[in-house]
A and B are shown apart, each in its own frame.
Chain A
């Protein structure tokens, strides 16, 4: 068995992240990420030969499948797939693998708030585990504004229900905005405040990814 197990925890105004690489043995890269009671598993397969109908001559095709805890996939899962595949296409250097396909499966195992954040971390960890060439690492943070104007980062499901707006930012290593998913009622100042909080966490997330990968590498050396 070639499973590398380790746990990295960090606290930046959010629940700690626990990450375990290589938990799906037959995938090219996989990760399970836990943030509080939100658990997401992600597997990356590829680059493999693409079906001729879908293949592109100048880059790899990225397919993302999101599966919810229970039930059949609905519009919500499709929307998450759109968000995740846009991240993949921006971040993976797809032009290095023309005529191929990269397939990503994301399984939500339990949702206790900030599920998109957890999905992004699982996605990035499993892309790193699969050794796919990336432009930069990326991470996410969710902010929720309550009716009294106070801000919560990394809200749980109960906190999300009371919030007036829920802003999820997906940022790159330098803290710039890659993708965003914001709903509810909010104003520009709130959005920008959330973005600056998100940017400030970027450096910690990069350390987290570095530690995760260096532990994997030290295990391989032994």
Chain B
């Protein structure tokens, strides 16, 4: 699995120049931010009003972050496809693995907030 992932990453880097990848990441980040900023600001304000459901909101926030991660990779793939119509690398699988890794980090951060940081901060 790891070997396959490394092969796909290598093929991805061969197929696109660093400039093209950075440009695609930048575009995907900006477009995701356009959706993420109001969404996260709204969730932040909902949390401030309904603080007594804090744990539920943190779980919701983890889900939203996972969805935003999906959206970012969707935009990233779209940007790369628009740059080069014939892509040999299996971007779906490559990005799915990337997403899973990032999602695991989000879940760990969320759980740390629920069990460690919130009990410390809420005094």
A and B bind: no
